[in-house]
Amino acid sequence: MSSREEILARLRLATGDVTSRPGERGPVPVSAATAGAAQDTLELFVKTVTDYRASVGRCTPEQVGAEVAAALVRARAHTVLVPPGLETSWVARARDAGLRLRADEAEDGGPLTAHELDGIDAVVTGARVAVATTGTIVLDHAPDQGRRALTLVPDQHVCVVRADQVVHDVPDAVALLDPARPLTWVSGPSATSDIELDRVEGVHGPRTLDVIVVC
């Protein structure tokens, strides 16, 4: 008997007492905090993100470029990664300020290697959805966010979130996501508390997370 068949046989034997059929628990019970007004959800998001020691800025659509440039300068970034589908006006001011913009493209036309990514200071992206109760942004790595490695290896991540992308609770976000895409949920910068529970930011992921909310 193959391992597969043997394990399945053991499990059928083990669950021989079960009389219900798969799925009979009924619709999946989903429990979520109820949203108030959209404005309350937005305020809550800003508060929870701030609690994570991420920096949060709010601006109008016209101000995004200036906010992005300011965040990059604050973290002393020199080279900035720009995903292929990013709104170009968001990084135009950064270029004017003298920062070097890089596409995810190596000399040979392929994507950047991990070592090349390691030499880049920051990345600017959009997001798929954001969660107010937890201060989380979710990336689905669409062209405005780039493949997963882009938001991982550089030391600063500047993420632009539209106000209409902010949902109230975790189930609202799960309902919007496509499981066929790779998904990364980010709540604050990389952190550890493994040493005497003292919190230290930035172990392997970006040490600085700037969230810019556009409303």
Partner 1 sequence: MTDLPAQETSPTFLGMPSFQHAAEAALADTQQRRNLAHATATIRAKRAAAVGEVDGWEDLRLAGAAAKDEALHHLPHYLEQLEAALTARGATVHWARDADEANQVVVDLARAKATDEVVKVKSMATQEIELNEALEAAGIAAWETDLAELIVQLGEDRPSHILVPAIHRNRAEIREIFARRMGAVGRAAPDDLTDEPARLAEAARLHLREKFLRARVAVTGANFAVAETGTLVVVESEGNGRMCLTLPETLITVVGIEKVLPTFADLSTMLQLLPRSSTGERMNPYTSMWTGVTPGDGPQEVHVVLLDNGRSRVLADEAGREALRCIRCSACLNVCPVYERTGGHAYGSVYPGPIGAVLNPLLRGTSSEVDRSLPYASSLCGACFEACPVRIDIPSLLVRLRTQVVDEASGRSAEAASMKAAAWVFGDHRRLEAAQRAATLGGRLLGDRTIRSLPGLGAWTQARDVPTPPTETFRQWWARTHGDDEGDLDDARGQPVVEEQDLGGAGPHTRQEGS
33 binds partner 1 (CB under 8 A): yes
Lookup: tokens for 90 = 């968001």
Burial (0-12, 13-18, 19+ Cβ within 10 Å), 184: middle
109 binds partner 1 (CB under 8 A): no
Nearest distance in Å: CB 97, partner 1 = 28
Q: Looking at beta carbons only, is 2 or 60 nearer to partner 1?
A: 2
Which of positions 57-96 make contact with partner 1 (CB under 8 A)? Answer: none
43 binds partner 1 (CB under 8 A): no
Q: List, as one string, the DSSP characters of 98-124.
A: TPEEEES--TTSSPPPHHHHHT--EEE
Nearest distance in Å: CB 155, partner 1 = 10
Which of positions 161-200 make contact with partner 1 (CB under 8 A)? Answer: 169-171, 173-175, 177, 179-200
Lookup: tokens for 7 = 């394990």
DSSP strand pairing (208-214 vs 156-162): parallel
Lookup: tokens for 139 = 């990336």
Would you say the C-alpha torsion 2, 6, 7, 8 has a positive or negative sign?
positive
Which of positions 138-167 make contact with partner 1 (CB under 8 A)? Answer: 141, 147-149, 152
How far apart, in whole angstroms, are the C-alpha atoms of residue 214 and residue 68?
Answer: 11
| Sole binder of partner 1 in the list 42, 53, 70, 160 (CB under 8 A) | 53
| Sole binder of partner 1 in the list 56, 70, 131, 158 (CB under 8 A) | 131
Contact present, 54 and 207 (Cβ < 8 Å): no
Q: Looking at beta carbons only, is 87 or 202 nearer to partner 1?
A: 202
Task: Classify residue 21 by its DSSP letter.
Answer: -
Nearest distance in Å: CB 81, partner 1 = 15
Nearest distance in Å: CB 18, partner 1 = 5
DSSP strand pairing (208-214 vs 55-59): parallel
| Sole binder of partner 1 in the list 6, 40, 96, 164 (CB under 8 A) | 6
Query: Which range, of 23-31, 66-74, 84-92, 93-101, touches partner 1 by CB under 8 A?
Result: 23-31
Nearest distance in Å: CB 109, partner 1 = 13
Q: Looking at beta carbons only, is 97 or 203 nearer to partner 1?
A: 203
Contact present, 117 and 82 (Cβ < 8 Å): no
